[in-house]
């Protein structure tokens, strides 16, 4: 049974960055629906005992008629678990420790990293995600993906540690068509300690 990440805060705790109704709909409806559908498909495919990362990296081993469903629902399940687990009412600021060092080393500065990942998020045509991942050699890599694809299902070999959801359901109630404002404001609630833990376990 794949478990949906439970929010350790109230639905209004991310305000004013993300309004309570968006959190309730996004986590309580969209993410919950992906989780339910993914569980059903993984059972049907006989792959429900695999960690989600392993399953997404091995979609070609699933029965052909279930592959697209697993890619979309499994991606939706995984992507939102990562997204919500790196947001916090106490977030914001800048990364510290090892992650900060690696970001500076890779992108020149935190501001430059922020600018580059924001550009990918804002520039993603239609629904999708922007990603910060750790490559096999330990380096940090940025990317964007459409729909519910991610660096795992796209077989990049990279491990995602931070993501920005740019589906309209993530921001439309409050920001309407202003995706760039949502992306910029989101940095006020990013939990860099959580991202650093993922970085350390991924490298």
Report the interface residues with Mn ion, using CB under 5 A. Answer: 165, 167, 170
Smaller CB separation from Mn ion, 91 or 128:
128
* Number of residue whose CB is nearest Mn ion: 165
Output the smallest distance, CB 83 to Mn ion, in A.
Answer: 7
Give the whole-angstrom CA distance, residue 202 versus residue 87.
19
Q: Which residue has the tokens 């860099």?
A: 192
Smaller CB separation from Mn ion, 7 or 45:
7
Output the smallest distance, CB 190 to Mn ion, in A.
Answer: 16
Smaller CB separation from Mn ion, 120 or 170:
170
Give the whole-angstrom CA distance, residue 183 versus residue 174.
12
Smaller CB separation from Mn ion, 77 or 192:
77
Please report, to the nearest 10 degrees, the dihedral formed by the alpha carbons of residues 118, 127, 16, 162 taken in order.
-50
Output the smallest distance, CB 22 to Mn ion, in A.
Answer: 10
Output the smallest distance, CB 31 to Mn ion, in A.
Answer: 7
Give Dmax over CA atoms of the chain in angstroms.
Answer: 47
* Spatial CB neighbours of 6, under 8 Å, sequence gap ≥ 6: none
The CA–CA distances, whole Å, from 68 to 32, 143, 157 equal 19, 21, 20
């Amino acid at each position: 049974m794949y478990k949906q990440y439970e929010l350790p805060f109230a639905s209004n705790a991310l305000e004013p960055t993300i309004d309570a109704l968006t959190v309730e709909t996004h986590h309580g409806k969209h993410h919950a629906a992906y989780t339910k559908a993914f569980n059903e498909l993984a059972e049907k495919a006989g792959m429900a005992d695999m960690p989600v990362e392993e399953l997404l990296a091995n979609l070609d081993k699933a029965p052909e008629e279930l592959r697209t469903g697993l890619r979309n629902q499994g991606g939706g399940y995984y992507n939102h678990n990562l997204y919500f687990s790196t947001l916090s009412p106490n977030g914001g600021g800048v990364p510290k420790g090892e992650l900060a060092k690696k970001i500076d080393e890779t992108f020149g500065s935190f501001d430059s990293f922020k600018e580059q990942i924001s550009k990918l998020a804002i520039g993603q045509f239609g629904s999708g995600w922007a990603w910060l991942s750790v490559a096999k050699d330990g380096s940090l890599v940025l990317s964007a993906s459409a729909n519910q694809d991610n660096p795992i299902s796209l077989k990049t070999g990279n491990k995602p540690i931070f993501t920005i959801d740019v589906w309209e359901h993530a921001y439309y109630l409050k920001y309407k068509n202003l995706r760039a404002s949502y992306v910029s404001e989101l940095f006020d609630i990013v939990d860099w300690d959580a991202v650093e833990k993922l970085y350390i376990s991924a490298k």
